[in-house]
Amino acid sequence: MDPEILITIVRMPMPFGKYKGRLLCDLPVSYLEWFKRKGFPKGKLGMLLQTMYEIKINGLDGLLDPIKEMVREEQKKRNYDG
């Protein structure tokens, strides 16, 4: 798996719907299950949501913890430098 996909999942907010603005990595599994039943969106967003669905249903959320920490550190540095 391309690590950039996981980084994007941690950084990208949901662009529409009930959870608009919430990071993809923080979407509830019930919402991802709804997409699984109804169909994931086309394109990159659909691929990212499907990846997040697989991560959650397989109990692999811990894979994202180091990436979340890296993103938090980047944000702290940006806030400190800016």
Q: Using an 8 Å Cβ cutoff, are 77 and 19 in contact?
A: no
CA angle 12–81–72, rounded 5-degree value: 35
Q: Residue 27: what pLDDT? A: 98
Tens place of pLDDT per residue across the chain (82 aa): 788 999 999 999 999 999 999 999 999 999 999 999 999 999 999 999 999 999 999 999 999 999 999 999 998 888 887 6
Q: Using an 8 Å Cβ cutoff, are 23 and 11 in contact?
A: yes
**Which domain does 37 fall in, by range?**
3-81
Q: How many structural domains compose the chain?
A: 1
